[in-house]
């Protein structure tokens, strides 16, 4: 069995966490993380890496490097932003798919492959903590598991579990 805890970064301004985002990441670490982790993985965005640095320090695992996997990040972020805006505030992937079905279907497959790659790099029994973005985190979960998860708010996360080659959605946690 392998586990990935996939979180959306906390509040940011541009590509850096805000002071509130930093405090929320610290709160998240105290309330919702279950160390130890074998890997910390960022999408490569500075705000995701910054949050991982906070979380890694909070769980006293600074000796574990932060890895970057751009396969967990979309290269068409403006298209996601436009489709999500057209679908309405807080829209889930189905509502976004109604606006741009090719985007959701194609990107979910690609992002799901990126999430699967994280799992495949983990030894049996290992756990990873990944910080990314919304709605692309939800798309990765859909692409890998076939399951829709509710939109992740800032600092919210979902646990994905691999057992015997099958991927399932576990606990969803949030700061609210």
* Averaged pLDDT, 132-161: 96
> Could you list the residue range(s) of the whole structural domain that residue 155 is in?
2-173
Which of the four pLDDT bands, split at 50, 70 and 90, describes residue 175? low
Which of the four pLDDT bands, split at 50, 70 and 90, describes residue 115? very high
Assign residue 142 the CATH number of its domain: 3.40.50.1240
pLDDT value of residue 173: 84
Residue 21 has pLDDT above 70, yes or no: yes
Residue 150 has pLDDT above 90, yes or no: yes
Residue-wise pLDDT tens digits, 41-61:
999 999 999 999 999 999 999
Share of residues in the chain with pLDDT > 70 (%): 99
Which of the four pLDDT bands, split at 50, 70 and 90, describes residue 174? confident
Secondary structure string (H, E, C) spanning 5-50: EEEECCCEECCEECHHHHHHHHHHHHHHCCCCCCEEEECCCHHHHH
pLDDT value of residue 171: 87
pTM here? 0.95
Mean pLDDT of the chain: 95
Domain tally, the chain: 1
pLDDT value of residue 45: 96
Residue 176 has pLDDT above 60, yes or no: no
Question: At a CB cut-off of 8 Å and minimum separation 6, what does 171 contact?
Answer: 158, 159
Bridge partners of 159, per DSSP, are 5
**Nearest-CA neighbor of 148 among 157, 138, 158?**
138
Q: Does a cis peptide bond (omega within 30 degrees of 0) precede residue 135?
A: yes
Contact 143, 110 (CB under 8 A): yes
Residue-wise pLDDT tens digits, 76-105:
999 999 999 999 988 999 999 999 999 999
């Amino acid at each position: 069995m392998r586990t990935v805890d996939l979180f959306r970064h906390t509040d940011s301004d541009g590509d850096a966490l805000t002071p509130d985002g930093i405090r929320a990441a610290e709160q998240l670490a105290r309330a919702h993380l279950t160390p130890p982790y074998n890997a910390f993985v960022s999408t490569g965005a500075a705000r995701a890496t910054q949050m991982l640095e906070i979380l890694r320090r909070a769980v006293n695992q600074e000796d574990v490097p932060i890895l970057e996997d751009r396969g967990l990040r979309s290269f068409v972020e403006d298209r996601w932003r436009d489709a999500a805006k057209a679908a309405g505030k807080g829209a889930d992937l189905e509502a976004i798919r109604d606006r741009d079905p090719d985007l959701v279907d194609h990107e979910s497959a690609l992002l799901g492959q990126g999430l699967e790659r994280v799992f495949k790099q983990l030894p049996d029994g290992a756990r990873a903590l990944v910080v990314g973005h919304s709605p692309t985190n939800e798309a990765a979960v859909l692409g890998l598991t076939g399951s829709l998860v509710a939109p992740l708010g800032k600092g919210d996360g979902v646990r994905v579990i691999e057992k015997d080659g099958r991927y399932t959605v576990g606990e969803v946690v949030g700061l609210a």
